[in-house]
Structure 1
Amino acid sequence: MICSRRLLPALLLAAGTAVLPALAPPPVFAADEATAPTADQVAEAYAALLARDYVYPETGERYATAIRAGIAAGRYAPLTGEALARAIDADVNAVAPDGHLRLRAPDGAAAPVGPALVRRPPKVPVEQAGWIAPGIAFIRFNLFPDDAAVTTEAATFMADHADAKAIIFDVRTHNGGGLDQMDVIFPWLFGEPTRLVTMATRASVDARGGSPIDGLPSMRVVKGDAGMVTREHWATPNADTRLRDAKIYVLTSGASASAAEHFSLAMKHSGRGVLVGDPTAGANHFGSGEDLGGGYGAFIPVGRTYDPATSQDWEGSGVLPDIAVPPAQALERALTELGVAPEEAKRLSDERMPSWPMERRRPRK
């Protein structure tokens, strides 16, 4: 998912697993009990945003109609917190599922239901970067944040491992973000300017400056569908040629969402990398986080990313791996493909097993 920098912490509404939030900290908006909106006001704010900005206008209107029907029926009025979020989510997804549509309840509002949720420390963007075997570099990205320090870390990793014969990018626990880190990785990997993916933003959103990808140097505006502003994401080579022929493997899972799927599709579409693992999460649409008041937040999808060769995106289905194996075995398989002995590949894989879930997020019940 590519997200507006206005409310970047909201960009992972689609990407969580059974453990929430997928990105820490989640969007937190001050909730003053004296001025907090009612449940119906929160629902109406969400309906209005979906009708105005959702990537597919007709679907956005249908979402709004469903929410407003819930308001009229009095379904939301007695609800608060997570119960309200669940009720609105159910009505929205009954219209058309979208991997990014998930209403965020105020921080701390979730009521215990069943077994207690596991409390985990915040995800760090980058883990275990370095040499994993002779000539083979490894790096795990858990997200692509709007953070200059992380972009510098990604750029430094590429420069420090420019003599690698192979690089393994682990995005099995990567839940989304933006383009900044991708745009310092891709120039090392291509020998000529290469079109990676196509991104189309609802024209009305783009016209008022609401596109999260407008103005990025790696984007080129092209002719596209009516009602959309279409841009192509391009990789422009840098002057260092050492990694041009390096083998690239990308480890994927059902938790690899949004911007991780963008990265995966770019590698697959261009033929530059080999995907190993499970199909990705199927959360395609990019957009921005919005404050609905009272501590509630929502991610509003305003565009889609797709394969320029087929015009197909990955919403619902995910990006398919080139080598399908259980995610827990993906690193082991990539290493054996690179000639590492099976026993050693297993040992190295076990040492670098992700601590975060590698399954698709389960729907709210």
Structure 2
Amino acid sequence: MRPFSSLLVLAAALSAASIAQAAEVAPRPVVEGVAKAIADNYYDAAKGAAVAGQLRAEAAKGAYDRLTDPRDLATALGDRLRPLDHHFNVSWSPPSTDASPPGPAPAAAPAQAADPFRRGNYGVRRVEILGGNLGYIDLRMFAEFEFGQANQPARKAIEAALQMVANTDAVIIDLRDNGGGSPAMVGYLTSAFTPKGADIYNTFHYREGTQSEAPKDWYPAPRLDVPLYVLTSGRTGSAAEALAYTLKNARRAVIVGEASGGAANPGGPVPVAGGFKIFVSNGSPVSPITKTNWEGDGVQPDVAVASAKALDTARALALETVLKTASGPSAQDTRWALEAIRAEAAPPTAKPLGDYVGSYGAIEIVQVDGRIAMKRGRRPINVLLPLGGESFTVQGEPSRRVVFERDAKGAVTAFEAVTSDGGGSRFRREAAPAS
């Protein structure tokens, strides 16, 4: 299958040579090359011919003649074309002019050392178990792999991530900074949360025919009942949108955040003379459920919030969902995690912090940036967030709480450190030294 290519991958950093003053170019031949690339490769031949005709007509009228700096010309052409297809992108890099020095060729660097996919862990940026036993996978790209080869690095990376969250009560997949990549990864990851053989996968339409996004190898242990949340933003593009779109339409995941970028049509870069390249979409997906795709409009969230708040929102939604069926100690842990999320956004307690500050045996209660915290020897300080009354949650560790005690005169005399499974220890406050 032809891979998706994200705009992020295409927008590679300019070399030092390209930052310097670029040599001037004649715009009209470049525009002709871009037009020909579109006419020859765009998945919709009629539309491709029409777009190419528009560019040629504009060039003939001198619309691009003033853009003799190749960087400016690339930007202008990209801006002109992108509204027609969100994958259109024109880039330029200076042709290499370095002559090989005399003598033996230098030894080639190991291929792995320069592999951006390996260095990016094949898109798996972070996997974490969040408070309340929520699985979190931060995916920054969908790395390509071929089915039928179980030991490929990209496949092993996503399988390792899924294995780490295999025992969680809900899963959150973060695509807010994911520009896309491989449709193979889309199909395989979808199969980790949906029934085998479900008719939910996009079919790509090319000039040469069609091909389904359904995986050729199915994930062996799909989690069909675990609550699933997918985070999106305006930077979510291409294959990342395909995953969100498929799971949303299958009613398998709740999409949280902002509408995605709206780049549905896969393709690849086509070289043009003079160091120019244009990304041309050579296919277009169609969902069996919606009979269309997300081009232009993007994938619309089920829960619309600013992307910066999407994770906290999804965490709260997940915990609320899990609580509906949880019981016993696990329900207590889930409830505490939900209350901790709310406490993170709450203002500091209105009670005087000085009431709590002091020594409690081996533990000191101190003030840190307008909050109180526990300090024990050289251990990291634990900030306490107010829950109401005399109860506080430990920031970042919602299964732990601190409950202070006061005497009849209102003075704080002790606190109890408790855990969601019922454990606890009590620490009495030492008397203040006589003045």
Matches within 5 A, 1:3-22: 4=3, 11-13=5-7, 21=8
Matched, 1:88 2:92: no
The answer (yes or no) to whether the contact 1:53–1:202 under 8 Å persists in 2 is no
- Equivalent residue for 1:68, pick from 28, 33, 56: 56
Q: 1:107 to 1:321 in 2, by over 3 A?
A: farther
Structure 1 unpaired stretches of 5+? 14-20, 109-120, 207-228, 352-365
Q: CA deviation at 1:275?
A: 0.6
Q: 1:261 to 1:292 in 2, by over 3 A?
A: same
Q: 1:259 to 1:76 in 2, by over 3 A?
A: same
Matches within 5 A, 1:279-358: 279-339=259-319, 340-344=337-341, 347=344
| Equivalent residue pairs, number | 295
CA distance in 2, matches of 1:3, 1:47: 22
**Corresponding residue SS for 1:180:** helix
Q: Which has the higher contact order (CA 8 A, sep 6+)?
A: 1
CA distance in 1, matches of 2:238, 2:210: 18
Matches within 5 A, 1:249-260: 249-260=229-240
Q: 1:25 to 1:346 in 2, by over 3 A?
A: farther
**Corresponding residue SS for 1:194:** coil
Amino acid at match of 2:143: P
Amino acid at match of 1:190: T
Q: 1:200 to 1:180 in 2, by over 3 A?
A: closer
Matched, 1:240 2:240: no
CA distance in 2, matches of 1:27, 1:179: 28
Q: CA deviation at 1:200?
A: 3.0
The answer (yes or no) to whether the contact 2:124–2:161 under 8 Å persists in 1 is no
Match of 1:191 in 2: 195
Q: Specify which structure has the higher proportion of strand.
A: 2
Match of 1:104 in 2: 91
Greater mean deviation of Cα atoms: 176-185 or 328-337: 176-185
Match of 1:354 in 2: none
**Corresponding residue SS for 1:280:** coil
**Corresponding residue SS for 2:141:** coil
Match of 2:250 in 1: 270
CA distance in 1, matches of 2:344, 2:227: 21
CA distance in 2, matches of 1:251, 1:163: 21
Greater mean deviation of Cα atoms: 276-285 or 55-64: 55-64
Matched, 1:57 2:57: no
TM-score, normalised by the number of residues in structure 1: 0.71
Amino acid at match of 1:83: D
Q: 1:185 to 1:105 in 2, by over 3 A?
A: same
The sequence identity of aligned pairs, in percent, is: 24
CA distance in 2, matches of 1:72, 1:162: 60
**Corresponding residue SS for 1:182:** helix
Question: Over aligned residues, Cα RMSD in angstroms?
Answer: 3.3
**Corresponding residue SS for 1:70:** helix
TM-score, normalised by the number of residues in structure 2: 0.60
CA distance in 1, matches of 2:42, 2:340: 50
Q: CA deviation at 1:57?
A: 2.0
| Larger Rg, first or second structure (1 or 2) | 2
**Corresponding residue SS for 1:84:** helix
